[in-house]
Structure 1
Amino acid sequence: MCGRVFDPEEVSEIKLNPLKKRRGDRWLWTLPRRYNVPPTMPLPVMTSTDGVRTIEPMRWGLIPPWAKDPKKLGNTFNARADTIDQKPAFKGAWKAQRRCLVLVGGFYEWRRSGVADKQPFAFAMGNHDIMTLGGLWEPWKNPETSEWTRSCTIITTEANDLLAPVHDRMPVIIGSENWDKWLGEDAVNDNELKAMLAPFPAPRLAAWPVDQRVGSVRNDTADLIERAAVQAALL
């Protein structure tokens, strides 16, 4: 499961129409960086239309077009790679090729270290670059207000060797070499797409223990992503 993320330095909280600038393949946002983002909050999401890439805020927790009440959907913030084209909540977006990249600095995962205690770890790119997670998105029209909401889900796959001691699953990470295919800019078939939903190479990631305060969404300060002063090796 991937249920908590933090922003990279280049991407921050997005509201309405934030100022954005492009520098090569990087996008800079001007609003404050978040360090403890839970589902239902907006995440920066990259899509491509006719080869033009844009980034916009989307609700984390996909709302399929047929939903009447998002609160009754259950968990739609993650979609399993092995059933993504079968589950009612996600198969429409998959078939319609509404694929996206969710931009994060990294994510948190908890390892149970005792009966009650869980040690949280942060996972990020080893080169400190933006982590681009494979996702799906959908537009949804509120039947009561007629307002439109764009929402997304993060796809998960089996854990790699780095994640396995902590959790049996991890988010799908799409490397920059596959952005054009994942975003639909290059022709690709289902088999090629599903091949991208494999565990990301462990040597390209970094992990470290963080303070247990990250367990509460009320905490959102820069020190949450710092290495905690605890003895918590992954292996």
Structure 2
Amino acid sequence: MQITPADELARHYGIEGPLPNAPAQYNAPPSARLMVVRRDPRDGRRDLSPLRWGLVPHGAGDPKIGNRLTLARAESVATTPSFREAFARRRCLVPVDAFFEWKAETTPRQPYAVARRDRGPFGLAALWENWRDPASGNWMRTFAVLTHAARAPMAAIHHRMPVIVPADRQPLWLGEEAADVAALGALLAPAETDALELWKVHPRMNAARVDDAGILERWDEGTDAISARPADLFAG
């Protein structure tokens, strides 16, 4: 979920220059275009630009492979053929205000919203890639989000979770500081998540077409009542 305006994200991540139009996205599914923070190898500056979610490897013959490469396991990303080159050279951050996870053993699947307790934006570890359409010659930029084993409170609902990169480690992840395999491995290891809070939301958000602030409402399935609304949950 990305709802922080682009200009605020730019200030948060130290980005200068023209910014893309970035409408709020509450329920972004795979294949959506999301704002991504990258280091421009030409001048070393940070860049904020929209990339498609679902990594298409540089040498892929069909872009549909990106539908299967939305997530990359931190434990094997350095050696997996689809991800290893991007891991070595094209690491990035996906800034989010919250994300959603599902408790799969319920019917329908029960979604939860996950955000920082202070409701500030945070960066998910990701990889990006360039792919050129051999028919049109057009270039496509795509990304995949890294995951690792879940810690509390996430472990109560799912065994995996996105890798969250702490602010002081983001220069290393983006390639602004020298990083060897050991340093990157330590960064990707499951970390404590005391800064996170999760709450149950209404299953209506299971439909990707539902994209409004109401999907953040804290929901009580026993009474079908809303106990907290987005304005309260994300109040400054």
SS in 1 for 2:152: coil
* Larger deviation, residues 166-175 vs 200-209: 200-209
Closer, same or farther in 2 for the Cα pair 1:72/1:22, shift >3 Å? closer
- Percent identity between matched residues is 35
Q: For residue 75 of structure 1, what is the aligned residue in structure 2?
A: 68
1:100 to 73, 92, 100: 92
- CA RMSD after TM alignment: 2.2
Q: Secondary structure at 2:28's aligned position in 1?
A: coil
Q: Say if 2:46 is the partner of 1:58.
A: no
Q: Which letter maps to 1:23? A: R
Q: What is the letter of the counterpart of residue 170 of structure 1?
A: M
State the secondary structure of the residue aligned to 1:191: helix
Which sections of structure 1, spanning at least 5 residues, go unmatched? 1-5, 12-18
Structure 2: how far apart are the matches of 1:48 and 1:147?
A: 22
Q: Displacement, 1:229?
A: 2.9
Higher normalized helix content (fraction of residues): 2
Matched, 1:147 2:147: no
- DSSP 3-state at the match of 1:164: helix
The amino acid across from 1:7 in the alignment is Q
Alpha-carbon distance, 1:203 to partner: 0.9
Residue 180 of structure 1 aligns with an amino acid whose one-letter code is P
Count residues in correspondence: 218
3-state SS of 2:164 partner: coil
Q: Give TM-score scaled by structure 1 length.
A: 0.85
Partner of 1:34: 25
Contact map agreement 1:20 1:29 (CA 8 A) in 2: no
Name the TM-score, length of structure 2 as normaliser: 0.85
Deviations 1:156-182 (A, max 9, x none): 000011111111000000011111111
* Larger RCO, structure (CA 8 Å, separation 6 or more): 1
Shift of 1:31: 4.0
